[in-house]
Amino acid sequence: MKHFIKSSILTAAIGMSLISCEDNEVTSHDLSFPGNAFAAFENTTAQTSETSSDVINIVAFYANSNQSANTDVQFSITENNITSSDYEIVDGKTAFSFNPAERQFTDTLKVKVFDNNVTDDNKSLVFTLTGSNNNITFGYPGEAMNNSTFELFIETDECALFAEEFGGEAGSPITPGSRKETSIDQFSGDEFNAPVTSEISAGAGTQVVTYKISNLYKEVLATLEGGTFEHAENQGYAFFELNNSDFNNPIVNITGQGANSYFATYDSKELRIQEAHDFDSGSYPQSTFDTCEKTVTAHYVLYYVDGGGNNVVFDVVTINLGF
């Protein structure tokens, strides 16, 4: 009786096992795709910096159903804000090469980028599979042609300075978003509440931007005891030129309204304006501007020439502008 029970349990276990196997059976079908073969990029994007010395590896692969011949796949390059002197295709490679007979189904394009030491925007290179010596398609099968292109994004290590970014376009100036002005010589208690307006005289896309700063004083000349503001239409404005032609040495030039740096008139004296460091490099710091943060810190001197031909400092001011 015991043997019968054991036999029954064993038979039931085997039966359940067979049922379990049948329930988990999976049928696999052969994969198929249109055409004989296709090539595609392994990834679609990568990112690097123009200061990086790393070699960027761009991998393409080849898939085929019945083709065993060697296959070359050409690619085109689209340059966005970059020239051929700013990067190198290592070994001068012009096509991906595959050898199915030797089971070589991937190939790598190696790219190096260079720092052009120019203030410019971010860049990119777009690689597109374009042609082959065999009848193949590019990208994954389907209308979308996914992975038939690859884009390498290149981050610049400088900040661009263009008229439309730093002060606005000619005729459509940007009023600085923030302003802080301090006097470091006389009139330290003055308030400078009048707004600053800018008037671009340089074209868009240039490395040199000139704009007009108005209302540098809140009519300080008219309110001084003994002072006369003889030319109300001038009301003390100056021209600031931001010159970023040499990205290692951005320059702020400050001039008045005329060739003689004329600024305004105080008590029959012609006041003139000059960038403080240029006026006296030993006493005053140089004006600066930050192309990344889009701020200007300008130090300027108001002075007049006395009867003896000496330059007499009237005021020294630091003005901070943010765009």
Parallel, antiparallel, or unpaired for β 137-138 and 37-41? parallel
Amino acid at 207: Q
Shared domain check, 141 and 56: yes
Query: Domain end: 155, 184, 214, which one?
Result: 155
Task: Report if residue 10 sits inside a domain.
Answer: no
Upper half-sphere CA count for residue 149 (Cβ side, 13 Å) = 11
Averaged pLDDT of the chain: 74
Task: Report if residue 107 sits inside a domain.
Answer: yes
Shared domain check, 309 and 188: yes
**Residues, the chain:** 323
Query: By CB neighbour count within 10 A (0-12 exposed, 13-18 middle, 19+ buried), where does 306 fall?
Result: exposed
Number of domains in the chain: 2
Shared domain check, 77 and 107: yes
Which of 22-31, 143-152, 195-204, 225-234 is modeled with the greatest confidence? Answer: 143-152
Higher pLDDT, 156 or 231: 156
Task: Report if residue 18 sits inside a domain.
Answer: no
Shared domain check, 316 and 188: yes
Please give the structure tokens belonging to residue 53.
């010395």
pLDDT at 202 over 60: no
| Domain that residue 132 falls in | 37-155
Query: Domain end: 133, 155, 177, which one?
Result: 155
Question: According to the model, what pLDDT value does residue 193 have?
Answer: 42
DSSP state of 7: H
Give the H or E element holding residue 6: helix 2-23
Q: Residues of the chain with pLDDT > 70: what percent?
A: 60
Query: Domain end: 93, 120, 155, which one?
Result: 155
Amino acid at 161: L
The alpha-helical segments, DSSP class H, found in 224-322 are 276-279
Upper half-sphere CA count for residue 322 (Cβ side, 13 Å) = 5
Task: Report if residue 15 sits inside a domain.
Answer: no
Question: According to the model, what pLDDT value does residue 183 have?
Answer: 55
Shared domain check, 274 and 207: yes
Question: According to the model, what pLDDT value does residue 220 have?
Answer: 43
Which of 54-58, 217-221, 238-242, 306-310 is modeled with the greatest confidence? Answer: 54-58
- The whole-number average pLDDT for the span 290-319 is 84
Cβ atoms of residues 229 and 219 within 8 Å: yes
Question: According to the model, what pLDDT value does residue 289 have?
Answer: 83
- The Cα-based distances of 92 to 71, 89, 112, 126 in angstroms read 18, 5, 11, 17
- The whole-number average pLDDT for the span 217-234 is 49
DSSP string, 45-110: EEEEETT--PPEEEEEEEEESS--S-EEEEEEEEEES--GGGEEEGGG--EEEEBGGGTB-EEEEE
Question: According to the model, what pLDDT value does residue 186 have?
Answer: 47
Shared domain check, 179 and 48: no
Q: How confident is the model at residue 190 (pLDDT cuts 50, 70, 90)?
A: very low
Reported as a single tens digit per residue, the pLDDT across 137-188 is 999 998 889 999 999 999 887 676 665 666 666 566 566 655 555 655 444 4
Amino acid at 29: H
Task: Report if residue 240 sits inside a domain.
Answer: yes
Reported as a single tens digit per residue, the pLDDT across 272-291 is 888 999 999 999 999 988 87
DSSP state of 157: S
Reported as a single tens digit per residue, the pLDDT across 64-122 is 867 678 999 999 999 998 999 999 999 899 999 999 888 899 999 999 998 876 767 78
Parallel, antiparallel, or unpaired for β 45-49 and 149-155? parallel
pLDDT at 306 over 90: no
Q: How confident is the model at residue 46 (pLDDT cuts 50, 70, 90)?
A: very high
Higher pLDDT, 218 or 124: 124
CATH number for the domain harbouring residue 99: 2.60.40.2030
